[in-house]
Amino acid sequence: MTSQPTLSETGSGHTNPEGPGSGLQAGLKNRHLSMIAIGGVIGAGLFVGSSSAIATAGPGILLSYALVGTLVVLVMRMLGEMSAANPTSGSFSAHADRALGGWAGFSIGWLYWFFWVVVLAVEATAGAKILSGWVPAVPQWGWALIVMVVLTATNLVSVGSYGEFEFWFAGIKVVAIAAFVVVGGLAVFGVLPGVHSDKAGLGNLTDHGGFLPNGPGAIMTGVLLVVFSFMGSEIATLAAGESEDPQRAVTKSTNSIIWRIGVFYLGSVFVVVALLPWNDKAITEKGSYVAALDSLGIPHAGQIMNFIVLTSVLSCLNSGLYTASRMAFSLGERGDAPKAFARTTRRGVPMAAIVSSVVFGFVAVFFNYRFPDSVFLFLVNSSGAVALFVWLVICFSQLRMRKIIQREAPEKLVVKMWLYPYLTWAAAGLIVFVFGYMLTDTEHDGRETVLLSLLVAAIVLVISFVKQRLGSGRTAVAAPAAEETDKVAAG
pLDDT on residue 159: 86
452-458-463-469 Cα dihedral, nearest 10 degrees: 180
Which contiguous run of DSSP H or E holds residue 478? helix 446-490
For 47-64, what is the mean pLDDT?
90
Q: What is the pLDDT of residue 12?
A: 42
Query: pLDDT for 79-137, tens place per residue?
Result: 999 998 988 878 899 999 999 999 999 999 999 999 999 888 888 888 888 899 899 99
CA–CA dist 1, 355 (Å, integer): 31
One-letter amino acid at 118 equals V
> What burial class does residue 454 get, using C-beta atoms within 10 Å of its C-beta: 0-12 exposed, 13-18 middle, 19+ buried?
middle
Query: 176 near 290, Cβ under 8 Å?
Result: no
pLDDT at 2: 42
Identity of the residue numbered 104: A
Closest of 237, 280, 232 to residue 255, by C-alpha: 237
SS3 of residue 280 by DSSP: coil
Mean pLDDT of 197-204: 84
DSSP secondary structure string for all residues of 423-460: HHHHHHHHHHHHHHHHHT--TTSHHHHHHHHHHHHHHH
Hey, CA dihedral for 21, 24, 30, 36, is it positive or negative? positive
* Whole-number pLDDT of residue 15: 41
Q: What is the pLDDT of residue 430?
A: 95
Give the C-alpha separation, 343 to 476, whole Å: 28
Whole-number average pLDDT of the chain: 85
What percent of the chain lies above the pLDDT cut of 70? Answer: 90
Q: Say if residue 17 is preceded by a cis peptide, omega within 30 of 0.
A: no
**Chain segment 377-408, per-residue pLDDT in tens:** 888 888 888 989 999 999 999 999 999 999 99
Q: Give 257 or 213, the one with higher predicted confidence.
A: 213
Which range has the worst mean pLDDT, 38-42, 203-207, 209-213, 313-317? 38-42
Predicted confidence (pLDDT) at residue 5 exceeds the cutoff of 70: no
The rounded distance, in Å, linking the Cα atoms of 33 and 56 is: 36
The number of C-alpha atoms within 13 Å of 348 and in the hemisphere containing its C-beta is: 19
- Give the largest CA-CA distance in the chain: 97
- Residue 344, SS3? coil
Average the pLDDT over 349-373 and give the result. 89
Closest CA to 55 of 171, 218, 190: 218
Confidence of residue 16 (pLDDT cuts 50, 70, 90): very low
Closest by CA to 229, choosing from 144, 132, 309, is 309
How far apart are the C-alpha atoms of 454 and 456, rounded to whole Å? 5
Domains of the chain: 30-91+110-371 (1.20.1740.10)
Alpha carbons within 13 A on the beta-carbon side of 434: 28
Axis crossing angle, helix 61-85 with helix 422-439, rounded to the nearest 10: 130
Kindly indicate the confidence band of residue 248, based on its pLDDT and cuts at 50, 70 and 90.
confident
Predicted confidence (pLDDT) at residue 3 exceeds the cutoff of 90: no
Q: H-type helices in 198-348, by residue range?
A: 217-226, 235-239, 246-255, 257-261, 268-275, 281-286, 288-295, 301-333
More confident residue, 157 or 486: 157
C-alpha span between 69 and 357 (Å, rounded): 29
Q: What is the mean pLDDT of residues 185-198?
A: 80
- The predicted pLDDT at position 487 comes to 55
SS3 of 54-83: the string is HHHHHHHHHHHHHHHHHHHHHHHHHHHHHH
3-state secondary structure of 28: strand
Task: Tell me how far apart the alpha carbons of residues 253 and 83 are, in angstroms, rounded to a whole number.
Answer: 11
210: left (phi over 0), alpha (psi -120 to 50) or beta: left
* pLDDT confidence of residue 89: 79
Q: Tell me the whole-structure pTM to 2 decimals.
A: 0.87
**Partners of 28 in beta bridges:** 243
Percentage of the chain with pLDDT > 90?
38
Q: What does the alpha-carbon distance between residue 325 and residue 238 come to, in Å, rounded to a whole number? A: 11
CB atoms within 10 A of CB 475: 11
State the pLDDT at residue 484.
Answer: 53
Tell me the three state secondary structure of residue 120. Answer: helix
Indicate whether 21 pLDDT > 90.
no
Q: Is 250:54 a contact under the CB 8 Å cutoff?
A: no
Predicted local confidence at residue 81, as pLDDT: 94
CA-based radius of gyration for the chain: 23
* Burial class (CB within 10 angstroms; exposed 0-12, middle 13-18, buried 19+) of 442: exposed
CA atoms within 13 A on the CB side of 124: 32
6 or 335, greater pLDDT: 335
Residue 17 in this model has a pLDDT that exceeds 80: no
Residue 479: exposure state from Cβ atoms within 10 A (0-12, 13-18, ≥19): exposed
Of the candidates 268, 298, 253, 262, the residue with the CA atom closest to the CA atom of residue 173 = 268
Check pLDDT > 70 for residue 4: no
Asked whether residue 488 carries a pLDDT value surpassing 70, the answer given is: no
pLDDT score, position 483: 55
Least confident of 246-255, 316-325, 331-340, 480-489: 480-489
